[in-house]
Structure formats: C-alpha cells, structure tokens
Amino acid sequence: MSEKILITGNEALAEAAIRAGLEAYFGYPITPQNEITEYMARRMPEEGRVFVQSESELAAINMVFGGAATGKRVMTSSSSPGISLMQEGISYLSGAELPAVVVNIMRGGPGLGNIAPSQSDYFQATRGGGHGDYRTIVLAPSTVQEMADLMFPAFDLADLYRIVVMVLGDGVLGQMMEPVLLEKKQTHRKLPAKDWALTGCAGRSQNIVKSLDLVVPRLEKRNLMLQEKYRRIEENEVMCEGHLLEDAEIVLVAYGIASRVVRTVVSRARKEQIKAGWIRPVTLWPFPSRQIAAAAERARLFLTVELSYGQMFDDVRIAVAGKAPVHFTGRAGGAIPTVEAVLDEVKKLMQPGKVAVER
Amino acid sequence: MTEKNCREEIIFAGFGGQGVILLGKLMATAAMKAGYEVTYIPSYGAEVRGGTANCSVIIDNEPIASPLVTEPDTLIVMNQASFDKFVPKIKPRGLLVMNTSLIETPPDRDDIEVMGVAADEIAHQLKSPRSANMIALGVYLKKRGLLTPQQVAESLPYVLAKRHHDMLDVNTRALMHGG
C-alpha cells in the first residue's frame, strides 16, 4: 500500500473519494472529467455502493440532494458548463444545509467553450454560484497527489458544517498523471451525528429537510445562522502555503495548476537576483486574506497569475487593501500562461525606477 | 541515484493509433520506478484514430513545479503532421528522434541533433508492425541512457492493457533493437 502508482488526477480523486467513505455518486459525462464518472461506474458497484449515471446534470445534483438528505456521503462531478447547470441544486443544498461534495474540473468558457484547461469559474465557485446569500467551501488542488488528499477534508468539512464543498481543479490536473501514494488520510475531525437526516421517523419526531420558508422573520433568522456559520469557517478553515516571503519584494499569488507555473517562475527569478516569493491559496473560500495582508506589510508589489482574465485578482486586491499595487497576468479560453511569459512580466514590473500602476 | 540537475522534457507525437500516448505512459512509469520525479500530460478529447496525438513527459531528480512542456529537450515523432508541428519547438541543442518510414523531409534546423529510424520497416522485419513506437523509443534510450531498454521493458506490463500482454515479448525485443 505504500507504493506510488502513476494515475491521472481524475482517477486519484475518484479513488480517494471512495476511501473517504463516499456512499453514492451521481454524475453525467463531460470532458475533461469523464475518467471520474468512468472510474466510479466500475469501482462503486465493486464496493457495494451506489453509482448512477443520470440523464442530465440537473438530475445528478438533485439526486445528490436526495442522497444527502438521507445522511449519506454523496458527491457529483462535472466540468464548467455542467456545473452551471447544477447551480440551482447547489443553492437548494445550501439553503437546506445539506453536506455534499461537488467537483468541478474546469474547462474553457464562456458557454460550451472548449475542453482545454481553465480557471475561469473562480467567481462562480467562490461567490456561491447560484441565487441567495450562501457560500461553498472551495478547495483547489495543485498536484495529482493533492487531488487525492483533499478529498478527505472535503467530505469531513461538508459533514462538519453541513455545507457544500467544491473541489476546483482544471483540465490539466484531471488529465495529467503523476506518481501518487493512495492512503486514507484521516483528518481526525470529530464529526457531529446526522440527527437531522431523513432515516424514517419511527420512534422519534419528524425531521424536515427543505429550503422553502415563506415566513420572513424565520428565513431571515436562517440566513443569520448561515452567516454566523460562514464566519466560523472563515475563522477556522483557511488553508494556504507560501514560500520565500521573508524578503520578497514581489509576491506572486496563484492557485491550482497556475501555482505550479508560478513556482518555476519564482525559482528562476531568484536565480536572476529578483527577490520573488509566492502564496498559494488551497482554500479559495475561505480566502487566505490574512496571510496575503501580512505579506503586503513587507512586499513592494503583487502579481496574480490565473488561467482567467483576473478573478482571484479581486480577492487579492481586497486582501492587500491598497498597501501595495496588485498586478495581473493570465490567459484563458484553454490557453495557459507560460513560465517565460510570467517571468518576463515579473522582470518588467521589477525594473528599477518603474512606477507601478495596477494592471 | 543520478547526477545533479538531471532533467529531461520529452514530447511524444504521432497520429492516433501509433501508440505515442502509450510511449509517454511507459517512459513516465519506468522513470518513476527508477526513483525519478515524473509528470505526464496527454493531449486529450478531440483526438481520434488517424488524427494527431501527443503527450509530454518530464523526468527530473527534483520535484517538478510546472508540468507544462513548451520547448522539449527531446521530440520523438512518428508522422509528418506531428513533425511539422513540433520540430520548431525543440530546444536548441535538443534531440529529435524521427520515424523516417513516414517522414520524408529532414528537419529545417541545424541547431539540433537528429536521429532517423525507419521504425515501421524494422517493426515489420520483427513481424510486429504495431511495435514501431517501441523501436523509436529504443533509439532514444540508447542515445540518452537515462534508463536502459531493460528497465523500460520491465514497466510494459503496467501500461499495456492485459488483452495485449501477448505483445510483451515482441515489444521488449523492439525496445532492445535500438535502430
């Protein structure tokens, strides 16, 4: 069990979900995440668990709602256009406070777009995505190993907070292969009993799972309770890494696949005597605002790098709060910023005497 | 394990059905088993039999940050369309292994090392026409010496679908041929 195997990110994520105790998977095919559905189709029946290939994304997310309401560990996976179709269901899950894991292996948009990698669904993922005042916890892996490892906290956080947890990857992370050690990574979280679940009410009072509430003060109270929960999550669940920040004059901020481009850029910049460092948010919501604010006390400027035209960029600016200029570079529509292009941008920004103007 | 800063970025390219995706997986698996860090990225989705297929592999003795290959150290290319697309991307002083059975013109570059191999003809001589990919990989292994053909052959059972395991022997011989 301690031997590394070479598998795709999609397969690593799927196997880890099964090891994390997934009891029912519902999904509808879409590239570049089909390997997840394919893997689940084979492995879930082997484990005596539920696999359903639904007739649509809308059906899949509502099956997730039903499965979650019974207290089972459930998930679905899709890619950008399919995740857009699921937004109504994600809002309902959030309103009913049901735990579920939703995986988005992002592709080029807008619209049907293409099947190449992208990070253009950041706004949708971190702002709720559907209607109403709600949040989903968003986890952003950057390696195939992490595609597997983050599935354990994903299910635990969902159960702990009765919330939707989104795992936000991209086409490269889904399709690429890297050596992976598949282990059961315990989070050692003490999880509450699911005494709200619909398990048959013989011998106890009836449980009701719903998001509809026509009485204004009651729905307001429910919203305030959700807000209080979101503040607790922001307080306790931020995950982030950083490197070379002690003396960094320029801090590059990137997540997922873009963060790996940035690591190479920073090590090359250091070889050219440019004091660069990097921050990688692992949770996109809650966002590591404090860690970025702390770096802003020392750094001269920030550069956000994304496979989009500047979405996380907004959160970095909010966190930096005017203490330093925040710049952006990125590509989308399936294109990926190259190490060379980002390094050129760093050099341009770090030219002596250069007056930094945002963007 | 190996000398410092040993890093190799390879693109494998050909038409769908020539087994270039298999070559990438095979090389990555063998390098992983030899203790290297590896990444493998396929072109995916819109590829069909007869269309172009490619994948990129990085082998390094240090952890790999960016897994994306823009300028490969080595291109192993099996057909003309992929040759036209990828030859301009090879790093200066890089290596080109080309299948001369299907590529007619020599490359229009004098800053790279070129090794031609009539992979399809040799595979036919071995009475295994589908092993042309292994012939090309064998030429590369003999030249670069990062892994031995024997080491790579030992990973064949992990990447070759079980229904093709009758081809393990002939593929091993193709890898050992070395052009």
DSSP one-letter string for A319-349: HHTTSS-EEEEE--TT----HHHHHHHHHHH
For position B16, what pLDDT does the model report?
A: 86
For position B45, what pLDDT does the model report?
A: 57
Sorted by where each begins, the domain ranges of chain A are 5-236, 241-349
Does any CB of chain B come closer than 8 Å to the CB of residue A349? no
For position A185, what pLDDT does the model report?
A: 74
Tens of pLDDT, residue by residue over A140-157, are 999 999 999 999 999 999
For position B2, what pLDDT does the model report?
A: 46
Which SS3 state, helix, strand or coil, does residue A26 take? Answer: strand
Instruction: For residues B52-63, give the mean pLDDT.
Output: 94
The answer, yes or no, to whether residue B46 has pLDDT greater than 80, is: no
User: Distance between CA atoms of A74 and A152, rounded to whole angstroms?
Assistant: 13
Does any CB of chain B come closer than 8 Å to the CB of residue A339? yes
CB neighbour list of residue A262: distance below 8 Å, 6 or more residues apart:
A252, A254, A278, A280, A305, A342
Residues of chain B found within 8 Å of residue A4, distances taken between Cβ atoms: 32
CA distances from A322 to A316, A319, A327, A351 (A): 10, 9, 12, 21
User: Distance between CA atoms of B153 and B157, rounded to whole angstroms?
Assistant: 8
Pairing of β A177-180 and β A5-8: antiparallel
Q: Name the minimum distance, in Å, from the CA of A103 to any CA of chain B.
A: 19
> Cβ distance B81 to B52 under 8 Å?
yes
Instruction: For residues A19-26, give the mean pLDDT.
Output: 97
Does any CB of chain B come closer than 8 Å to the CB of residue A6? yes
Does any CB of chain B come closer than 8 Å to the CB of residue A172? yes
Tens of pLDDT, residue by residue over A256-277, are 999 999 999 999 999 999 999 9
Q: Residue B1 — pLDDT band, cuts 50, 70, 90?
A: very low
Looking at A171-249, which runs of residues are DSSP E strands? 177-180, 240-243
Pairing of β B52-60 and β B37-42: antiparallel
Q: Residue A300 — pLDDT band, cuts 50, 70, 90?
A: very high
For position B93, what pLDDT does the model report?
A: 97
Instruction: For residues A310-337, give the mean pLDDT.
Output: 97
> Cβ distance B131 to B167 under 8 Å?
yes
Instruction: For residues A82-104, give the mean pLDDT.
Output: 98
Does any CB of chain B come closer than 8 Å to the CB of residue A7? no
For position A356, what pLDDT does the model report?
A: 58
Which SS3 state, helix, strand or coil, does residue A107 take? Answer: strand
> Cβ distance A326 to A320 under 8 Å?
yes
Query: Which member of B25, B28, B68 has the closest CB to residue A336?
Result: B68
Q: Name the minimum distance, in Å, from the CA of A5 to any CA of chain B.
A: 8
CB neighbour list of residue A346: distance below 8 Å, 6 or more residues apart:
A250, A252, A265, A269, A274, A276, A303
Query: Which member of B25, B42, B68 has the closest CB to residue A175?
Result: B42
Please name every residue paired with B176 in a beta bridge, in sequence order, or none if there are none: none
Query: Which member of A6, A260, A336 has the closest CB to residue B28?
Result: A6
Query: Which member of B28, B67, B158 has the closest CB to residue A260?
Result: B67
Tens of pLDDT, residue by residue over A44-83, are 999 999 999 999 999 999 999 999 999 999 999 999 999 9
Q: Which of A143, A146, A178, A342 to mutate to test the interface with B (most CBs of B within 10 A)?
A: A178
The answer, yes or no, to whether residue B3 has pLDDT greater than 60, is: no
Given an 8 Å threshold on Cβ–Cβ distance, is A172 in contact with B68?
yes
- Residue A341 CB coordination number (10 Å): 16
Instruction: For residues B122-129, give the mean pLDDT.
Output: 95
Residues of chain B found within 8 Å of residue A176, distances taken between Cβ atoms: 39-42, 67
> Could you tell me what percent of chain B has a pLDDT over 90?
88
Tens of pLDDT, residue by residue over A75-91, are 999 999 999 999 999 99
DSSP letter, residue A208: -
Given an 8 Å threshold on Cβ–Cβ distance, is B65 in contact with A263?
yes
User: Distance between CA atoms of B174 and B153, rounded to whole angstroms?
Assistant: 10
For position A186, what pLDDT does the model report?
A: 76
Q: Residue A184 — pLDDT band, cuts 50, 70, 90?
A: confident
> Cβ distance B61 to B37 under 8 Å?
yes
Instruction: For residues B165-172, give the mean pLDDT.
Output: 94
Query: Both tokens of residue A63?
Result: 């099956």
According to CATH, the superfamily of the domain at A5-236 is Thiamin diphosphate (ThDP)-binding fold, Pyr/PP domains (3.40.50.970)
As a CATH number, domain A241-349 is 3.40.50.920
Higher pLDDT among residues A344 and A359, named by residue: A344
User: Distance between CA atoms of A26 and A5, rounded to whole angstroms?
Assistant: 26
Instruction: For residues A288-310, give the mean pLDDT.
Output: 98
In which residue are the tokens 């709060």 written? A321
Average pLDDT, chain A: 96
CB neighbour list of residue B110: distance below 8 Å, 6 or more residues apart:
none
Give A 182-201 residues with CB within 8 A of chain B: none
Residue of A nearest to B59 (CA): A178
Sheet (strand A326-330) strand order: A240-243, A276-281, A250-253, A301-306, A326-330
Q: Name the minimum distance, in Å, from the CA of B105 to any CA of chain A.
A: 30
User: Distance between CA atoms of A99 and A160, rounded to whole angstroms?
Assistant: 8
The answer, yes or no, to whether residue A280 has pLDDT greater than 70, is: yes
Query: Do A241-349 and A5-236 fall under one CATH topology?
Result: yes
For position A141, what pLDDT does the model report?
A: 98
Residues of chain B found within 8 Å of residue A31, distances taken between Cβ atoms: 44-45
Higher pLDDT among residues B47 and A190, named by residue: A190
Q: Name the minimum distance, in Å, from the CA of A76 to any CA of chain B.
A: 21
CB neighbour list of residue B111: distance below 8 Å, 6 or more residues apart:
B92, B93
> Could you tell me what percent of chain A has a pLDDT over 70?
98
Instruction: For residues B98-119, give the mean pLDDT.
Output: 96
Pairing of β A283-285 and β A5-8: unpaired
Does any CB of chain B come closer than 8 Å to the CB of residue A256? no
The answer, yes or no, to whether residue A241 has pLDDT greater than 50, is: yes
Given an 8 Å threshold on Cβ–Cβ distance, is B39 in contact with A177?
yes
CA distances from A352 to A251, A274, A324, B130, B152 (A): 17, 11, 16, 58, 50
CA distances from A8 to A103, A172, B76 (A): 15, 10, 22
Higher pLDDT among residues B37 and A1, named by residue: B37
Pairing of β A137-139 and β A100-106: unpaired
* Domains of chain B, first to last: 7-177 (3.40.920.10)
Structural element, H or E, at residue A252: strand A250-253
Tens of pLDDT, residue by residue over B63-105, are 999 999 999 999 999 999 999 999 999 999 999 999 999 999 9
Residues of chain A found within 8 Å of residue B68, distances taken between Cβ atoms: 172, 261, 336, 338-339
User: Distance between CA atoms of A153 and A14, rounded to whole angstroms?
Assistant: 14
Which amino acid belongs to residue A353?
Answer: G
Query: Both tokens of residue B145?
Result: 């010496």
Instruction: For residues A34-48, give the mean pLDDT.
Output: 98
The answer, yes or no, to whether residue B44 has pLDDT greater than 80, is: no
Q: Name the minimum distance, in Å, from the CA of A106 to any CA of chain B.
A: 14
Which amino acid belongs to residue A346?
Answer: V
Query: Both tokens of residue B77?
Result: 């290319």
